[in-house]
Structure 1
Amino acid sequence: MRKKILLGNVSPHDLPFSLRSDYVWTICVYALAAGGTERLLLETHGYYAIPAPWTFAFHLDDDESHSPAEGYKIRVEVLDKQVLIADASEQFSIDWLAASRDSVHNLVLEPRAI
């Protein structure tokens, strides 16, 4: 079994809008299959005002999928109840054989319904 750690951080200084403590954050990681389908692997969510930089981590291993994934996707959403305020997503691949190679992705939250 091989493992990877996905680390992320959110800073209110980098966001294109102000955060409120009643907004809910959702961060999801998906496995992408050959037919273009997505399968949810990991998810975290909660209410955050994010007064300071906030860091999150997901632990992945290559045994989490019964069929090999063609890629992965991370999606971040900010919701005001049911209304999507901002979101960002990016697809990426994972080199399971590389022990220490880092891959950096910068997601920028795009305002949706402000």
Structure 2
Amino acid sequence: MRKKIFLGHISARDLPFSFQSHYHWIISVYARKPGGVERLLLETHGYYAIPAPWTFAFHVDDDESPEPVEAHQIRVQVLDKDVLIADASEQFAIDWVASEVSVHNLVLVPRAI
């Protein structure tokens, strides 16, 4: 079994507001199969007033990722109750053979204020 670490750096530099403790963060990793079908691999969420910038890491085994996979995607969403107020995503390919950490820089974009 091969393992990979996804390291994400989240920036809020483009947001015209600061984070509140009642904001709900959702960070997800998806695998996209041929034909566009997505499968959720990992997810974490909670209510945080996170100071930006912020870094997170996921450890993934290749047996958690369905084969064949066209791409993987990291999504970050920030919600105020049920309203999406900011998000970011990045799609990427994974080299399971390489031992390097898969690093992703995500810049949150405002959605609803």
Offset from partner CA, 1:33-68 (integer Å, 9 cap, x none): 001111000000001111465432111111113432
| 1:34/1:11 CA distance change after superposition, 3 Å | closer
SS at match of 1:105: strand
Offset from partner CA, 1:2-43 (integer Å, 9 cap, x none): 10011224456x351311111100000000100111100000
| 1:7/1:66 CA distance change after superposition, 3 Å | closer
Q: Is 1:48 matched up with 2:48?
A: yes
1:1-114 pair list within 5 angstroms: 1-10=1-10, 14=13, 16=15, 17-51=17-51, 53-100=53-100, 102-114=101-113
User: Contact (CA 8 Å) 2:5, 2:102: kept in 1 or not?
Assistant: no
| 1:6/1:34 CA distance change after superposition, 3 Å | same
| 1:25/1:10 CA distance change after superposition, 3 Å | same
- Say what the alpha-carbon RMSD is for the aligned residues: 1.8
Q: Structure 1: how far apart are the matches of 2:18 and 2:48?
A: 12
TM-score normalised to structure 2 length: 0.87
Larger RCO: 1 or 2 (CA < 8 Å, sep 6+): 2
Percent identity reads: 71
Unaligned runs of 5+ in 1: none
User: Contact (CA 8 Å) 2:10, 2:106: kept in 1 or not?
Assistant: no
Q: Structure 2: how far apart are the matches of 1:34 and 1:42?
A: 19
Q: Structure 2: how far apart are the matches of 1:61 and 1:67?
A: 13
Offset from partner CA, 1:59-113 (integer Å, 9 cap, x none): 111111343211100100000010000111110010011123x443321111011
| 1:33/1:52 CA distance change after superposition, 3 Å | closer
User: Contact (CA 8 Å) 2:11, 2:106: kept in 1 or not?
Assistant: no
Unaligned runs of 5+ in 2: none
